[in-house]
Structure 1
Amino acid sequence: MNYLELITVKAWADLKSEASRAYIGFLWWFIEPVLYMGSFYLLFGLGLKMGGDNFMYFLLCGLLPWKWFSSSLSNGSLSIVANAGLINQIYLPKYVLPMVTVTVTSMKFLVVLPILLLFLALSGFTPSIHWTALLPIVACQFLLVAALASLLAAIIPFIPDLRFIIENGMLLLMFLSGVFFDMARIDESLRAILYLNPVAVLLKDYREVLLHNQWPPIFDIVYIAGFAAVVGAVSWYVLKRIDRRVIKVL
């Protein structure tokens, strides 16, 4: 069995194991993100009355990709530490572990995404050829979360306190990425700085495609893919360096 096949098999096994621990099984994959997005809508949409008539759709198109991103980093960054027992028993290239976690979160996202698309279609957002642009956007996000999760997973065994920085940093990043507000409404100079964050660019592109039937700018795709490639190269280098050493600190 090659390592790509191992990642797929292990991810599927983890999904089934997770589903078996809940009474409603795989239905929890649908219910959990709905509750997650619903709670934010109640707070920001109804409670604080942010946005206009289409705020709910704007929020959903940002929250679902953000949920995928945050879950991938939060869980993926701990994947090597969480599998210390397995690492002590058999040899595995360390990149396998964060990739398994990212594959699991990606599968969950791909299960829920069609529900969002159906909901938007039934709400008056007519599907068009532009929706096919989701393919490169989703692919870029997968590359981004895989690269970042792998890098963090390689560092945390040696700097355990980093996990607490990640937990708090994710909350800050959520607000800086424009999950709850439209970047177009802020000052242009500040917007240019915020768009250095690839997550903010991703969320903008999801919304342009789904809510406005527009093609995402080619520069956005190139920027996110390039950012992911650089981080991926760094994470690959770090993982190779710590491959045999990490067992000593687990």
Structure 2
Amino acid sequence: MTSQKNNITDGFKILIKYRYLIWMLSLKELKTQYRGSYLGFFWSLMNPLLLLIIYTFLFVIVFKNPAKAYPVYLFCGILPFTWFQSSILVGTASISGGGSLVSKSLMPPEIIVMSKIGANLLNYLLAVPILILFVYIFKMRIGLPLLYFPLLIIIEFFLIAGVSLFFAALNVFYRDIQFIILNLTTFLFFSMPVMYFDKQLPLKIRHLIYLNPVAYIMKCFQDIFYFNVAPRPLFVLGILFISLIFFIAGYTYFAARKELFSEFV
């Protein structure tokens, strides 16, 4: 029981103690991604923008979706999901592919996972001004609900960190996990109200979709940037609680397995 409590508190302690190292490694990871590229960080915008263009063409031009400012609605879902998916994918493979950085370094291995998430967070934040620009291009409004945005970033970070730590540890022993995650996250994308509105679904299906905490987070982003309404405080507190549970559970599993990593990496 004592060990479990230590693991829970250690997860938050490591985030605080190594925050500067996580920040520097995240910056290094981001720079490495675009080293030798002429367009540099612009490429971080290409994936969400390409998805936006494709889905806008399909649903606005082909299927004649009548929704107001539909590209803005799409972008509200694509951006937070892209951060979630890209972080989970690289985070899952970060320990198994870490080599000597895992087996010989004195640095806590969870820092490697956190830095991957941090780098993708920076990519995400670079794309947010594009979303805001789209809001004004389509003559929509952003008001005081924007104040919830930093809190949503924190909530999604803890959710991503918990899931990434769990699968990063599991992938060390079962390398098929990283391939399963790719397909699983793709399924999640199409199962959530990104391309469609949740009100278009039967109530039973809607309740089923919102068993997924990522769908809750995306709903809050849509409230802020598309509907210009503040997410309900109890709604936000509930997601925060769930995200912290995911973080604690993911870190606890990671901490229980990390002594074995050097034998398998």
| TM-score bracket, shorter-length normalisation | over 0.9
Residue 143 (structure 1) shift: 1.5
The equivalent residue for 1:23 is 38
Q: What's the TM-score once normalised by structure 1's chain length?
A: 0.92
Distance 1:21 1:81 in 2: 26
Aligned counterparts of 2:240 and 2:177: Cα–Cα separation in 1: 25
Equivalence for 1:223:
238
Residues 1:80 and 2:95 aligned together:
yes
Deviates more, 1:125-134 or 1:71-80: 125-134
Match of 2:109 in 1: 94
- 1:113 aligned onto 2:128: yes
In the aligned structure 2, how far is the partner of 1:151 from the partner of 1:213? 35
1:150 counterpart letter in structure 2 = L
Q: Percent identity?
A: 24
| Unaligned ranges ≥5, structure 2 | 1-16
Partner Cα distance (2:23, 2:155) in 1: 19
Query: Match for 1:147: what amino acid?
Result: G
Q: Is the 8 A contact 1:94 1:239 kept in 2?
A: no
Specify the SS of the correspondent of 2:239: helix
The offset of 1:9, in angstroms, is 1.1
The answer to whether 1:200 aligns with 2:223 is no
Q: Supply the distance in 1 between the matched residues of 2:215 and 2:60 (Cα, whole angstroms).
A: 20
State the superposition RMSD in angstroms: 1.7
Pairwise CA distance, 1:166:
0.8
| 1:178 counterpart = 2:207 | no
The separation in 1 between residues aligned to 2:36 and 2:151, in whole angstroms, is 34
SS of structure 1 residue aligned to 2:75: helix
Q: CA deviation at 1:80?
A: 0.7
| Counterpart AA for 2:250 | S
**Could you tell me which amino acid in structure 1 is paired with residue 25 of structure 2?**
K
Which amino acid is 2:101 matched to? L
Contact preservation (8 Å) 1:144, 1:224: no
Paired AA for residue 182 in structure 1: F
Equivalent pairs counted in the alignment come to 249
Match of 1:148 among 163, 167, 175: 163
Instruction: For 2:38, give the aligned amino acid.
Output: Y
Give the structure 2 partner of residue 168 of structure 1. Answer: 183
Tell me by how many angstroms 1:246 deviates: 1.0
**Deviations for 1:190-225, whole angstroms, at most 9, x for unmatched residues?**
211211111111111111111222110123212221
The question of 1:39 aligning with 2:48 is answered no
Whether the 8 Å contact between 2:55 and 2:195 is mirrored in structure 1 is no
Residues 1:4 and 2:19 are matched in the alignment: yes
Could you list the runs of 5+ residues in structure 1 that have no partner in the other structure?
A: none
SS at match of 2:229: coil
| TM-score, scaled to structure 2 | 0.87
Q: Cα deviations across residues 146-173 of structure 1 (Å, max 9, x unaligned)?
A: 1111111111111111112111111110
Deviations, residues 41-73 of structure 1 (Å, cap 9, x unaligned): 233433444453432221111111111111111
2:140 corresponds in structure 1 to 125
